Chain A
Amino acid sequence: MKRTTFESVDRTRLPVPGPPRPLTFPALEKSVLSNGLRLWTVRHTQVPLVSLLLLVRRGAASDAPGREGLAAMTADMLDEGSGLSSAIDMHQKMARIGAQFDTDIGSDATVASVTVLTRFIEPALSLLSDIVARPALREEDFARVRQLRLHRLKQLRDMPATVADRAFLRLLYGDQPYGHSPIGSEPSLASMTIDDVRAFHRSAIRPSDATLIAVGDTNHEEIARIAAAAFSDWTGEAQDGPAESGSLPAPSPLTIVPRPGAPQSELRIGHVAVPRDTPDYHALVVGNMILGGQFVSRINLNLREDKGFTYGARTAFEFRRRPGPFVLQVGVQTAATVRAIEESIGELSAIRGPRPVTPEELSLATAALTRGYARNFETAEQISRGAMQIALYDLPDDYFAQFVPSVERVTCADVTRAMAAHLDPARLTTLVVGDLDAIAPDVGRLALGDPAILGADSF
């Protein structure tokens, strides 16, 4: 048997952490270049790396109807060469300085980022300006990139989680700006031309609504000097994307995209919810942690740890500049599809009042958000991504410092009220990508009416 003699450990209770070491939040230094480009820098000197990030606040929601995928196509064309240099020349230059380059496209933003050894900051900024301000946008490159994206769309039809994500946006938003995923669709890509891309670059990728963020072992004046030279010829006003028009669609409560023989059903359950600037932001962040935002959330503990239906389930309020979706997403074994939907809708309904958030749940969720907050400020890239949130959503400069107190102020009653206000079981739409024949006999139990059947190629 175990030896227990000299163990001086008290295993009857868990150690209680002492007071936390205070965290000093990184300070943003700001200036504006003569072309209107905002420059934000943060000093972060731990490792000789610098993270450069250029945020343009125009993304897939700026795609005009019939041009879905244009913002993403434009972002993809940015690193296809500049002036007379080819895409390969451009990437060769990046490789010679060991730069790690990326572009991201979201609904509200296009982001180009480079992480590089500090000693290469000057060539890195020069490359970043070639990419964002002076892309070549050549016809032959466009043809190749468009073809690759069309192939990609074809392949995405094989990926159940992606099929579910794309179909769900369409169900929730229809033709509204958030109704398509950034990649767009076959018809819109097929009818797109290089002139569309050039026009989008000219009207949307402009310095007037852009922010260059630099985090690393360097100072503001030096970066301002290099950036002013690199971006001097980038000018112009960014035009607004299309406005929302008409009302949101009223989707069927239950839609199935058939995937014959699938071993799992991909589920999406949700509705259009709130924008990032909702006054209930912190209450919803805390509430979502409890509902489906962490391993120990109600949904994951129920569907995974109690029932064993899934590898993992989660929920999110996708906060955007305009009202974004609330989505529960989970892949469950086919035989458990209907029960998983019942349990999920049950949890979404319960947290609004019937089974309100308990003080223990609140304190665990709040602690997870606040005590671990320091972790978000370890690397230059984490800090530049954090600053980007401030720039993208017009948050106050002291946002980092305000986050913890704002979360700590949230009460159980706040969470219940916010969940009741922004989660409405009557408006939920449920989407299943799965084996229709296997699921069909049971769906009647759900009392969601006859399911709408959507072909995998109809969105």
Chain B
Amino acid sequence: MTLRFSKHTLANGLDVLLHEDRDCPIVAVNIWYHVGSKNERPGHTGFAHLFEHLMFEGSEHHDRGYFQPLQGAGATLNGSTNADRTNYWEVVPSNALELALWMESDRMGHLLPALTDAKFSNQRDVVLNERRQNYENRPYGLAPMALLAALFPPDHPYHWTTIGEVADLHAVTLDQVHAFFRRYYHPSNASLALAGDFDPDAALALVDRYFGSIEPGERVTPVRQTATLAGETRIFYEDRVELPRIHIGWLTPEMFGDGDADLDLAADLLANGKTSRLYKRLVFEERLATDVSATQNSREMAGYMQLTATASPGHSLAELERVMLEEVAKLAREGPTDDDILCGRMQAEAQFMFRLQTVGGFGGKSDQLNAYNVFLGNPDYFDRDLARYNAVTKASLAESLVRYLDPARRVTLSIVPQGRADLAASDSTRVAVV
């Protein structure tokens, strides 16, 4: 199940990845800029994401909404920002490929003349509302702020969330926005992937025509910063919730790093689905929790594993914490079963196949090629990525658990109902989250 593609680099440094797939008369245009909230500094958070919004507000030669012409051609489109990168994509009928390239290249090469103070302050209001909707007015919604702040030190680029701090968003100026664009939004900090119904030679010529004359810009030095947890941090905050919840977080290897696949599978074995160990014990048998989940969050510089469980009424976070740590320790001690490894491989094969179904959108083939190209410098990684999961053994998974999920080096976060600080896990310190 190899993903066939060709890679070209334009004279200005823009990487171009082409994957031909003629099944459906559509083309995915997917562009990654290697910039995310990790390129921000304390006091200036939320910038990369706010900027993503401004990319949809028009550029010099089309100084109107970005959506209208593309939607009029039958496209669907979106963008997203995370800690490590910002992506933008359109899925267009094959006949509208040139239109999409015109639009993407105009906002890469000619955004600033159209970027006014009015657009900027409107989109800041929209982002503040996005923050209210997805974080502040959502139960447990501020958990990422508290967890990341405790896992990574204040000067580490993963200390803050992508949405940013309210005070920082209010402090941003239009000049800073311009400087940010010049620094990060240019061909040598971008990767363009096309997947779908097109002729590769003709498509490459079109890409060169539209993007080739854009100034390369200065290469961006990758951000590199390590983080370690010296001990255990126990914190809590009060929220408008009915049931208390506990998060346990550990620092883990970076994306594609040694142990990353082990911990990804370990997360599934611990807490994802009815067959997982923690679901069986906490939800199915002992009924201490209403839900439980686990994620290995792999990022470019570092990862973090997060276990989450919500207490059933009448049960305490202390009970949950004890069982969660017991099951982690047991899996580390005994390792997974043969059946676990078999299921893990089968899931990996199916998951990788699911990703091959779509040319575009979040996680489709074009997005996948860009991920490999931007993070590894090598888009030809699909098979090797799957091989990482097939290489996981009982011993390697157990070793990674012992090495990374150390109960003495973790963050334990309790979220409790208003006025019920007594429900937090023992010895927790109150933290302010906003």
A interface vs B, CB < 8 Å? Answer: 2-4, 6-9, 11-12, 14-23, 46-49, 87-88, 91-92, 95-100, 115-117, 144, 147-148, 151-152, 154-155, 157-160, 259, 261-264, 294-296, 301, 304-306, 308-311, 331-333, 363-364, 367-368, 370-375, 377-381
Cβ of B317 within 8 Å of any chain A Cβ, yes or no, is: no
Complex alpha-carbon distance, A377 and B91, angstroms: 13
Complex alpha-carbon distance, A98 and B386, angstroms: 14
Flag if A151 contacts B312 (CB, 8 Å).
Answer: yes
Flag if A49 contacts B357 (CB, 8 Å).
Answer: yes
Counting from the closest, the 8 A-B pairs by CB-CB distance are A371-B74, A308-B125, A98-B350, A372-B74, A98-B346, A158-B139, A21-B25, A311-B130
Cβ of B176 within 8 Å of any chain A Cβ, yes or no, is: no
Flag if A305 contacts B93 (CB, 8 Å).
Answer: no
Q: Which residues of chain A have C-beta atoms less than 8 A from B313's C-beta?
A: 151, 154
Tally chain B residues at the interface, Cβ within 8 Å. Answer: 82
Tell me what chain B mostly uses at the interface: helix, strand, loop, or mixed.
Answer: helix
Flag if A47 contacts B71 (CB, 8 Å).
Answer: no
What mask results when residues 255 to 278 of chain B are scored 1 for a CB within 8 Å of chain A, else 0?
000000000000000000111000
Cβ of B213 within 8 Å of any chain A Cβ, yes or no, is: yes
Q: Which residues of chain B have C-beta atoms less than 8 A from A262's C-beta?
A: 137
Flag if A48 contacts B215 (CB, 8 Å).
Answer: no
Q: Which residues of chain A have C-beta atoms less than 8 A from B312's C-beta?
A: 147, 151
Complex alpha-carbon distance, A25 and B243, angstroms: 49
Cβ of B293 within 8 Å of any chain A Cβ, yes or no, is: no
Q: Which residues of chain A have C-beta atoms less than 8 A from B26's C-beta?
A: 374-375, 378
Contact partner of A311 (CB less than 8 A), chosen from B126, B242, B357, is: B126
Cβ of B76 within 8 Å of any chain A Cβ, yes or no, is: yes
Q: Which residues of chain B have C-beta atoms less than 8 A from A306's C-beta?
A: 122
Flag if B136 contacts A88 (CB, 8 Å).
Answer: no
Contact partner of A148 (CB less than 8 A), chosen from B93, B98, B283, is: B283
Flag if A95 contacts B347 (CB, 8 Å).
Answer: yes
Complex alpha-carbon distance, A8 and B213, angstroms: 9
Most chain B CB neighbours (cut-off 10 Å) among A2, A9, A12, A152:
A9
Contact A152/B132 with A88-B275, A157-B242, A304-B126 known, Cβ cut-off 8 Å: no
Contact partner of B136 (CB less than 8 A), chosen from A8, A157, A263, is: A263
Complex alpha-carbon distance, A294 and B343, angstroms: 41
Q: Which residues of chain A have C-beta atoms less than 8 A from B109's C-beta?
A: 2
Complex alpha-carbon distance, A375 and B94, angstroms: 11
Complex alpha-carbon distance, A261 and B239, angstroms: 12
Flag if B275 contacts A95 (CB, 8 Å).
Answer: yes
Complex alpha-carbon distance, A104 and B126, angstroms: 32
Flag if B342 contacts A96 (CB, 8 Å).
Answer: yes
Flag if A305 contacts B122 (CB, 8 Å).
Answer: yes
Flag if A9 contacts B102 (CB, 8 Å).
Answer: yes
19 CB contacts below 8 A, A to B, read A2-B215, A9-B209, A17-B98, A19-B95, A23-B25, A95-B275, A98-B343, A144-B287, A151-B313, A155-B243, A294-B67, A305-B126, A308-B124, A309-B125, A310-B133, A311-B134, A367-B73, A371-B72, A374-B26
Flag if A17 contacts B346 (CB, 8 Å).
Answer: no
Shortest CB distance A385–B (Å): 13
Flag if A159 contacts B359 (CB, 8 Å).
Answer: no
Q: Which residues of chain B have C-beta atoms less than 8 A from A294's C-beta?
A: 67, 71
Complex alpha-carbon distance, A293 and B125, angstroms: 22
Flag if B210 contacts A9 (CB, 8 Å).
Answer: yes
Q: Which residues of chain A have C-beta atoms less than 8 A from B99's C-beta?
A: 14-17
Cβ of B180 within 8 Å of any chain A Cβ, yes or no, is: no
Cβ of B349 within 8 Å of any chain A Cβ, yes or no, is: yes
Flag if B357 contacts A380 (CB, 8 Å).
Answer: yes
Cβ of B197 within 8 Å of any chain A Cβ, yes or no, is: yes
Flag if A310 contacts B68 (CB, 8 Å).
Answer: no
Contact partner of A91 (CB less than 8 A), chosen from B75, B275, B351, is: B275
Complex alpha-carbon distance, A158 and B132, angstroms: 15
Flag if A3 contacts B25 (CB, 8 Å).
Answer: no
Complex alpha-carbon distance, A370 and B73, angstroms: 9
Shortest CB distance B265–A (Å): 12
Flag if B275 contacts A379 (CB, 8 Å).
Answer: no
Contact A21/B125 with A378-B358, A379-B357 known, Cβ cut-off 8 Å: no
Flag if B290 contacts A155 (CB, 8 Å).
Answer: yes
Q: Which residues of chain A have C-beta atoms less than 8 A from B105's C-beta?
A: 9
Flag if B350 contacts A116 (CB, 8 Å).
Answer: yes
Complex alpha-carbon distance, A146 and B46, angstroms: 42
Shortest CB distance A185–B (Å): 16
Contact partner of B94 (CB less than 8 A), chosen from A21, A100, A368, is: A21
Cβ of B23 within 8 Å of any chain A Cβ, yes or no, is: yes
Nearest residue (CB) in A for B239 is A158
Nearest residue (CB) in B for A260 is B240
Shortest CB distance A227–B (Å): 22
Shortest CB distance A357–B (Å): 15
Complex alpha-carbon distance, A309 and B122, angstroms: 9
Cβ of B399 within 8 Å of any chain A Cβ, yes or no, is: no
| B274-318 with Cβ < 8 A to chain A | 274-275, 280, 283-284, 287, 290, 310, 312-313
Q: Which residues of chain B have C-beta atoms less than 8 A from A12's C-beta?
A: 61
Cβ of B138 within 8 Å of any chain A Cβ, yes or no, is: yes
Contact partner of A14 (CB less than 8 A), chosen from B62, B94, B275, is: B62
Flag if A372 contacts B213 (CB, 8 Å).
Answer: no
Contact partner of B354 (CB less than 8 A), chosen from A96, A97, A115, A331, is: A115
